[in-house]
A and B are shown apart, each in its own frame.
Chain A
């Protein structure tokens, strides 16, 4: 168990810069997820932590020891690969034992460690098999077992669930979380799946173009995204973003949705929610999550943080657990996550409440969250 500090880590391939001054401080026992679209540099960053690639600049410290110049074998880090990378010529037992054998751990101790890891992951009955005789989920467990056997300071996971089928992926996700809670291990985990990131992480680093867009807890990332990229990358359905005209003063702001066909809607926002004083008379991007929109059902009152709105139903997508509905508010399309048994018809006009405590605004030019 250890702390990991990345300080101004850079990486260039010739003229192409793939990582820009990445700085992350990880506390002991943290589960950090690096998430982003393909080509964002997350795998490169992981390879640099592993020692498989050299950074062009910056330094890495593991438990306050500089590891920048150390080779991958000397860093006391183990990694679970996307393809599992099980050695096909060795049995499961030999695979798990391999890192210990390479480190000249005495034989009895190796056997003991293999046994305890196998028990932890419920793979005792597979120890004599070769990797090709295992299913995807079993291979995954063996790969994790091999990483655990060494009891390293830091674990790296490179998209470990992406080769599994959907159901198994969910099960393994829960198991990984359990494992982290039991071992209190420090983990860096790379994925492009934002749900995996949200569910597993204690902190998330959202990356794009080699730059960390935001580093924060899943709650912060989801509710206070640093910019429009984070807002639309994290969460499914993606956050509703709409251009609004800002008016108003000390008492509050009026955000005007100016949609197609002369449709208009005005949303009254209390001044305490967001400081738009620098943007009066200008346009900003308003962001609202799908679950911040609900049907009013003629119940309850509109309040300062509960804005009433009227909308037309355009598309209905029942998912079973809830119903995703595309609505037109003031001529602009919004996606709302409504209750599963909502009785709606296409073209119907419905009354809604918008939960303004969840409202965020972004600068139109910089795309950064206002008040961030």
Chain B
């Protein structure tokens, strides 16, 4: 009895066991296909001339391979009133996402440091308040934020969008860093203080160099969110400061002319590439970092 249970999978598996295993893999394969087919459809159709899409089926491989949809999407597609393609908006998204990610990560580290290493009166309530920010839906912030941006003269600018994304992310990044630093050895910080490191010395020389996993988590989280963010982008940007997501929407939703599906597919893939790259480069740190500090503290 016990021997059966302990047997290595596949070694002496009973017939019933093998059947269930086949069924399991079948289900897994179907699931994988469900997720992969849209990507496949996007990829093959982005390499087809428009005529093949209009006449053939969407699943077939291109009869004639072409890069033209990609070039059009990138450089010459008509978006709004101009025909510059996605290029300027791609740049806009980087100009928004990179400073916003850097600034919010720094703020998160600073908040986490203060909340864990300095037990001041009300620190628990402050943390609870910051945590609450995580649950505030985007829509609620829209009108107050519009007024605020107007008041500080940042309406419709890239700077304004950086500001909005940083502010909206503070709750998340603080949560990440606080949990990570609450499991951080206290004696290291005390030792550094005795050795003469000041407030920023401790943060800069002791905490941050030992925060790689949580920095990676924060960067991935913030970059993906800010890159994919649409509502703030469409509400607070002007024509020239629109991020990529808004431009993609404008491209696909333009009511004029022929629907160039091959160009749309190519444009959508271009828009997704940076987040994919970030995940592939640092995905293994993501899980590790999310788990860090969750056991203790």
* Residues in A lying within 8 Å of B, measured CB to CB: 50-52, 71-73, 77-79, 81-83, 85, 87-89, 98-99, 102-103, 146, 150
Q: Contacting B190 at CB < 8 Å: which of A71, A85, A99, A150?
A: A85
Within 8 A of A (CB), among B182-207: 185, 187-188, 190-198, 201, 205-206
**Cα distance, A51 to B210, chains bound together (Å):** 25
Report A-chain residues with C-beta under 8 Å of the C-beta of B192. 87, 98
Report A-chain residues with C-beta under 8 Å of the C-beta of B185. 83, 85
Task: Closest A residue to B191 by CB, please name it.
Answer: A85
B137 at the interface (CB under 8 A from A): no
Given A83-B185, A85-B185, A87-B206, decide whether A52 and B190 contact each other with a Cβ distance below 8 A. Answer: yes
Query: Contact: A82 with B187, CB < 8 Å?
Result: yes
Query: Contact: B195 with A81, CB < 8 Å?
Result: no
User: Which has the most chain A C-beta neighbours within 10 Å: B191, B198, B206?
Assistant: B191
Count, A-B residue pairs, CB within 8 A: 59
Q: How far is the CB of B47 from chain A (nearest CB, A)?
A: 47
Task: Closest A residue to B185 by CB, please name it.
Answer: A83
Query: Contact: A85 with B188, CB < 8 Å?
Result: yes
Report A-chain residues with C-beta under 8 Å of the C-beta of B201. 102
B209 at the interface (CB under 8 A from A): yes
Given A83-B185, A89-B209, decide whether A73 and B190 contact each other with a Cβ distance below 8 A. Answer: no
Report B-chain residues with C-beta under 8 Å of the C-beta of A88. 188, 210
Query: Contact: B193 with A81, CB < 8 Å?
Result: no
Query: Contact: A81 with B210, CB < 8 Å?
Result: no
Query: Contact: A99 with B209, CB < 8 Å?
Result: no
Given A88-B210, A89-B210, decide whether A52 and B194 contact each other with a Cβ distance below 8 A. Answer: yes
**Cα distance, A99 to B195, chains bound together (Å):** 4
Report B-chain residues with C-beta under 8 Å of the C-beta of A102. 195-197, 201
**Cα distance, A73 to B188, chains bound together (Å):** 14
Query: Contact: B197 with A73, CB < 8 Å?
Result: yes
- Supplied contacts A82-B187, A85-B191, 9 more A-B pairs, CB within 8 Å: A52-B194, A72-B190, A72-B194, A79-B191, A85-B187, A87-B191, A87-B209, A88-B188, A150-B195
Q: How far is the CB of A155 from chain B (nearest CB, A)?
A: 11
User: Which has the most chain A C-beta neighbours within 10 Å: B187, B195, B196, B210?
Assistant: B195
- Top-5 shortest CB links A-B: A102-B196, A85-B191, A99-B195, A89-B209, A85-B187
Q: How far is the CB of B60 from chain A (nearest CB, A)?
A: 55
18 contacts between A and B (CB under 8 A): A50-B190, A52-B193, A72-B194, A73-B193, A73-B197, A81-B191, A83-B185, A85-B185, A85-B191, A87-B188, A87-B206, A87-B210, A89-B209, A89-B210, A98-B205, A99-B195, A146-B195, A150-B195
Report B-chain residues with C-beta under 8 Å of the C-beta of A79. 190-191, 194
Q: Contacting A81 at CB < 8 Å: which of B190, B196, B205?
A: B190
Query: Contact: A99 with B187, CB < 8 Å?
Result: no
Query: Contact: A78 with B194, CB < 8 Å?
Result: yes
Query: Contact: A73 with B187, CB < 8 Å?
Result: no
Report B-chain residues with C-beta under 8 Å of the C-beta of A85. 185, 187-188, 190-191
Report A-chain residues with C-beta under 8 Å of the C-beta of B206. 87, 89
Q: Contacting B187 at CB < 8 Å: which of A83, A146, A150?
A: A83
User: Which has the most chain A C-beta neighbours within 10 Å: B188, B194, B206?
Assistant: B194
Q: How far is the CB of A309 from chain B (nearest CB, A)?
A: 51
**Cα distance, A180 to B125, chains bound together (Å):** 48
**Cα distance, A89 to B191, chains bound together (Å):** 14
Report B-chain residues with C-beta under 8 Å of the C-beta of A82. 187
Query: Contact: B198 with A81, CB < 8 Å?
Result: no
Q: How far is the CB of A188 from chain B (nearest CB, A)?
A: 13
Given A83-B185, A85-B190, A87-B188, decide whether A73 and B195 contact each other with a Cβ distance below 8 A. Answer: yes
Report A-chain residues with C-beta under 8 Å of the C-beta of B198. 73
**Cα distance, A239 to B215, chains bound together (Å):** 57
Report A-chain residues with C-beta under 8 Å of the C-beta of B209. 87, 89
Q: How far is the CB of B209 from chain A (nearest CB, A)?
A: 4
Report A-chain residues with C-beta under 8 Å of the C-beta of B190. 50, 52, 72, 79, 81, 85
User: Which has the most chain A C-beta neighbours within 10 Å: B193, B198, B210?
Assistant: B193
Given A82-B187, A85-B187, A87-B188, decide whether A73 and B194 contact each other with a Cβ distance below 8 A. Answer: yes
Q: How far is the CB of A156 from chain B (nearest CB, A)?
A: 9
Report A-chain residues with C-beta under 8 Å of the C-beta of B196. 73, 99, 102-103
Report B-chain residues with C-beta under 8 Å of the C-beta of A81. 187, 190-191
**Cα distance, A339 to B197, chains bound together (Å):** 55
Report A-chain residues with C-beta under 8 Å of the C-beta of B205. 87, 98
Task: Closest B residue to A51 by CB, please name it.
Answer: B194
Query: Contact: A72 with B193, CB < 8 Å?
Result: yes
Query: Contact: A78 with B195, CB < 8 Å?
Result: yes
Report A-chain residues with C-beta under 8 Å of the C-beta of B197. 73, 98, 102
**Cα distance, A87 to B191, chains bound together (Å):** 9
Task: Closest A residue to B212 by CB, please name it.
Answer: A89
Within 8 A of A (CB), among B240-273: none
**Cα distance, A99 to B192, chains bound together (Å):** 8
Task: Closest A residue to B189 by CB, please name it.
Answer: A85
